[in-house]
């Protein structure tokens, strides 16, 4: 019997038992659907985070104090990272083109009788928007003149404008951050929410103004964000910063760094590692459903062999070979698993998209990579071939005479 004829016979057999075929494939549908739903949510998160990090450039670096090292018996003094460290980095480490200190915290803001508490008030310098790729949409950003002259100015996000009722022309209005009166000089471009962080609910003030707001001790726990001349300079700059900070912090050879340096590549690798681990663990657990679906296919195929014993006998009496019978039942098993895989793929993507929309914080949309589609369909077909091989072999071994006598 030709392969095309085997396909036709297999499809006719599945059509004759539509409900049973659908229920048989249900385990595969659930297994593939669950895997695709989980992968689409996690990969959507990873895809978005990676895109955000890549937006700041491969030459981006971040330094922050390693407060985990601040334990009794490890260091005799609190862990500090200051803007003085940052200035020395800019002066003495070749390859650093821009650097900004960052101190941040929540503070109340008010305008007339309206109050709002943004997610963060950040103390930075004029390099922030270039380093973080966060531009101004209206007005201007903080300048070196503002910082040198200790001007009481601020750049704010659109949500702050709306919450304080600053109107369509907020530039030049005086508002209060805590007890500090500041003049609005810029409105940041709208970025929306990302992973629970509202990027339109941020206020930026000169670094020295932030220290007066948060207290001078905030200057001992500064983050430093910088860019190097290009991506190739990242590793030499990292080594230079490490050597310089160890020298400034008076760390001896056997003491670990009391700071952490992270590059864009480090951040992407860390996030990818965490989310890939989650995908692997959850996908492995959910993959058990595929095995259950495979067992269901084998059971139903065994029942089908028993029901069609006389048919098998007739076909063998008319000249069908063992290989023909074997291929026919294998095709039926593969079709069941493949159909279940395709339905599961659509179901999983739909479920993942729905869950992503229902999650709070403007959660990233679902994203299904090509490898997840190939893996799911390939594994479901493999399950069908594996669990369908025994019923197919049993059908192929039937004696034609005994099969024709079967009642």
Helix 3-16 vs helix 322-358: crossing angle, to nearest 10: 60
Residue 299: the pLDDT is 76
| CA distance linking residue 279 with residue 41, whole number of Å | 9
Residue 401: the pLDDT is 56
Domain positions in the chain: 3-53+273-405, 67-257
Residue 122: the pLDDT is 96
Residue 286: the pLDDT is 64
Q: What is the 3-state secondary structure (H, E, C) of the chain?
A: CCHHHHHHHHHHHHHHCHHHHHHHHHHHHHHHHHHHHHHHHHHHHHHHHHHHHHHCCCCEEEEEECHHHCCCCCCCCCCCECHHHHHHHHHHCCCEEEEEEEEEECCCEEECCEEECCCEEEEECCCHHHHHCCCEEEECCCCHHHHHCCCCEEEECHHHHHHHCCCCCCCCCEEEECCEEEEEEEEECCCCEECCEECCCEEEEEHHHHHHHHCHHHHHECEEEEEECCHHHHHHHHHHHHHHHHHHCCCCCCCCCCEEEEEHHHHHHHHHHHHHHHHHHHHHHHCHHHHHHHHHHHHHHHHHHHHCHHHHHHHHHCCCCHHHHHHHHHHHHHHHHHHHHHHHHHHHHHHHHHHHHHCCCCCCCCCCCHHHHHHHHHHHHHHHHHHHHHHHHHHHCCCHHHHHHCC
Segment 272-331, tens digit of pLDDT: 777 777 777 766 766 676 777 777 777 777 777 766 666 666 666 666 676 667 777 777
Residue 75: the pLDDT is 46
Per-residue CA distances from 324 to 13, 142, 236 (Å): 15, 78, 67
Q: What is the pLDDT along the chain (407 residues), one digit of tens a residue?
A: 566 666 666 676 666 667 777 777 777 888 788 878 888 887 777 767 666 665 566 788 899 998 765 555 544 567 889 999 999 999 999 999 999 999 999 999 999 999 999 999 999 999 999 898 888 999 999 999 999 999 999 999 999 999 999 988 899 999 999 999 999 999 999 887 765 578 899 999 999 999 999 987 889 999 999 999 988 888 899 999 999 999 999 988 888 989 999 887 777 777 777 777 777 776 676 667 677 777 777 777 777 776 666 666 666 666 667 666 777 777 777 888 888 888 888 888 888 888 877 776 566 677 777 777 787 778 777 877 777 777 777 776 766 556 555 55
Tokens of 361: 């914080």
Is the pTM for the entire model greater than 0.75?
Answer: no
Residue 74: the pLDDT is 47
């Amino acid at each position: 019997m030709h392969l095309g004829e085997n396909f036709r016979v297999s499809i006719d057999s599945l059509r004759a038992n539509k409900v049973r075929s659908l229920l048989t494939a249900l385990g595969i549908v659930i297994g593939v659907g669950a895997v695709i739903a989980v992968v689409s949510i996690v990969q959507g998160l990873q895809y978005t985070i990676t895109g955000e990090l890549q937006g700041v450039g491969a030459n981006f670096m971040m330094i922050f104090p390693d407060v985990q090292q601040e334990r009794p018996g490890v260091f005799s003094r609190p862990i500090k990272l200051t803007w003085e460290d940052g200035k020395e980095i800019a002066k003495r480490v070749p390859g650093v083109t821009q650097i900004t200190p960052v101190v941040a915290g929540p503070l109340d803001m008010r305008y007339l009788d309206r109050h709002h508490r943004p997610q963060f008030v950040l103390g930075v310098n004029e390099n922030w928007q270039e380093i973080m790729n966060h531009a101004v949409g209206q007005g201007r950003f903080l300048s070196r003149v503002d910082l040198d002259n200790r001007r009481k100015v601020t750049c704010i996000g659109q949500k702050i404008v709306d919450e304080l009722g600053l109107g369509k022309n907020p530039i030049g209005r005086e508002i209060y951050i805590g007890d500090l009166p500041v003049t609005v000089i810029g409105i940041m471009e709208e970025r929306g929410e990302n992973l629970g962080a509202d990027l339109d609910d941020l206020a930026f003030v000169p670094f020295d103004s932030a220290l007066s707001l948060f207290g001078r001790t905030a200057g001992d726990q500064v983050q430093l964000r910088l860019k190097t001349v290009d991506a190739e300079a990242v590793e030499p700059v990292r080594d230079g910063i490490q050597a310089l900070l160890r020298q400034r912090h008076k760390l001896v050879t056997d003491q670990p760094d009391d700071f952490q340096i992270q590059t864009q590549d480090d951040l992407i690798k860390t996030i990818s590692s965490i989310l890939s681990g989650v995908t692997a663990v959850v996908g492995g657990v959910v993959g058990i459903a595929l095995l259950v679906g495979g067992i269901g296919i084998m059971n139903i195929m065994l029942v089908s062999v028993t029901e069609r014993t006389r048919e098998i006998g007739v076909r063998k009496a008319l000249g069908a070979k063992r290989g023909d019978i074997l291929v026919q039942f294998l095709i039926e098993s593969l079709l069941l698993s493949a159909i279940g895989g395709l339905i599961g793929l659509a179901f999983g993507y739909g479920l993942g998209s729905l869950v992503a929309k229902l999650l709070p914080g403007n959660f990233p949309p679902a994203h299904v990579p090509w490898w997840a589609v190939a893996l799911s369909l390939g594994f479901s077909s493999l399950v069908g071939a594996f669990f369908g091989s025994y019923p197919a072999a049993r059908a192929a071994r039937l004696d034609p005479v005994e099969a024709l006598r079967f009642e």
